[in-house]
Amino acid sequence: MRSVRIGGGLGFYGDSIRPALDIAERGDVRYIAFDHLAELTMAILEKDRQRDGAAGYTKDIGPLMRELLPVTHGRGIRLVTNAGGIHPDGARAEVARVARELGIRLRVGVVRGDDIRPRLAELRAAGAELRHMDDGRPLEEVVDRLLFANVYLGSRPIAQALEAGAEVVITGRTTDAAQFAGPIVHEMGWAWDDWDRMAAAVLVGHLLECAGQVTGGNFSGDWWNLPDMDRLGYPVAEVFEDGSAIITKPPGTGGRVSVDTVKEQLLYEVHDPSRYLTPDVIVDMTGVRLEDAGPDRVLVRGVRGLPPPPTLKVLMGYADGFMGVGMMGYAWPDALAKARMADRIVRAQIARFGIQAEEIHTSYLGYDSLHGPLARPVDEEALNEVYLRVAVRTRTREEAQKLGRLFPPLALDGPPFIGGLSGMAPVRELLGLWPALVDRSLIEPFVQVDVEEVG
């Protein structure tokens, strides 16, 4: 049966490059896809662009290509990445620079059209309200503070770039799974309205998009038994003509591919398994079957698909003030009680000194900083140490900076202090996120794909 092999080379901006090299050298793949972007990443890239107008793509694209191209170019392995972020042409320029230094000539495709900020007035005039998709608030609340606005595109423009001969494809904001589905559909020649096979391509993309998370990383099962986690292998999928797939990893690498590791990733970030919405297809996972097919091999089959929704998701970012953070550490005995007393003092002084905090958030590192109100009750006397962390959100940087002055005096003016004084972290600008929906007919005709030779 005809098949194609594709690897998941990276799960987030800043992930390790080494596992992608293992895939290139020993994975016997035709493609490697990389998922650099998350909602937070778009905010990070916007801050980069504010400092440097030529930035806006993920900075790991250069080191990634420097390591991979000498291996992949000679083997005919094609690379797909959303490292373009909010400046995909800048990412192509960086790839071109690296290729020139390596003496490699290659064809690089760029997908544009996800960035709709320049088109907002036009889109709103055409009837796109772009209300907050969770609470219905009107865009007018933040429109004058918007910094970026990007639509989640699907896999078709990636396939178009591959059809045009691209050896490397760079996109901006797409769905995570699109980086994988595009090559699969292109290679297998599947029809865009063959919903079951489209669902299979997207499902494979979903399983591979978080890289090591499907091969034992971040695993909540018997994680203590996973072998050789110092060299975790990243996933490889062999996708067959009938839409079934084998999930595995390169030989000789650490971690594990099992029904349980695959099952965890299958349900990751899925709200409704019967209607997993993507621009390409609505995926129905309720009939999916996972079967052990040998050591580090899991067979995936049984997914079904429905026509995609008429809308696409938009993610917009807007300026949302500044954050000041202060920290103070307390040691046993009564570490948590001391930290709570210090919090009461800080909050009283915020009010007394007129610090204009729109939000105040307190957490106790060592007790509830991860679980918040869901933290289990503990024997407070058993806590050896607790750090108080107070964060404020303010309208101005100057107002946020006032918080830090409240912490040093606590060493002598607060509860008994034998611990650590971290003082105040640098003030950070905050970006709020605004999800919305837009009619796809207003977006897809404006998506552009171009391929050029670089190096």
Distance of CA 443 to the CA centre of its chain: 22
What Rg do the C-alpha atoms of the chain give, in angstroms? 24
Q: Is the dihedral of CA 213, 218, 219, 225 positive or negative?
A: positive
Q: Give yes or no for a contact between 68 and 167, defined as CB atoms under 8 angstroms apart.
A: no
Q: Give yes or no for a contact between 387 and 365, defined as CB atoms under 8 angstroms apart.
A: yes
Q: Give yes or no for a contact between 288 and 302, defined as CB atoms under 8 angstroms apart.
A: yes
| pLDDT of res. 39 | 85
pTM attached to this predicted model? 0.94
Q: Give yes or no for a contact between 10 and 63, defined as CB atoms under 8 angstroms apart.
A: no
Q: Give yes or no for a contact between 176 and 205, defined as CB atoms under 8 angstroms apart.
A: yes
**Could you give all domains of the chain from N- to C-terminal order, each with its CATH number?**
3-114+152-309 (no CATH), 319-433 (3.30.70.60)
Q: What are the angstrom distances between the C-alpha of 204 and each of 162, 236, 255, 279?
A: 19, 10, 19, 15
| pLDDT of res. 380 | 77
Alpha-carbon distance of 383 to 402, in angstroms, equals: 30
**Which tokens hold the place of 197?**
């096979």
Residue given tokens 């650590």 in the structure block:
420
**Predicted confidence pLDDT, tens digits, the chain (455 residues):** 899 999 999 999 999 999 999 999 999 999 999 999 988 898 899 889 989 989 999 999 999 999 999 999 989 999 999 999 999 999 999 999 999 999 999 999 999 999 999 999 999 999 999 999 999 999 999 999 999 999 999 999 999 999 999 999 999 999 999 999 999 999 999 999 999 999 999 999 999 999 999 999 999 999 999 999 999 999 999 999 999 999 999 999 999 999 999 999 999 999 999 999 999 999 999 999 999 999 999 999 999 999 999 999 999 999 999 999 999 999 999 999 999 999 999 999 999 999 999 999 999 999 988 888 888 888 877 889 999 999 999 999 999 999 989 999 999 999 998 787 777 789 999 999 999 999 999 999 999 999 999 98
**Which tokens hold the place of 370?**
């991860």
Q: Is the dihedral of CA 138, 139, 145, 148 positive or negative?
A: positive
Q: Give yes or no for a contact between 12 and 41, defined as CB atoms under 8 angstroms apart.
A: yes
**Which tokens hold the place of 144?**
């004058």
Q: Is the dihedral of CA 217, 81, 290, 264 positive or negative?
A: positive
Residue given tokens 């490697």 in the structure block:
32
| pLDDT of res. 369 | 85
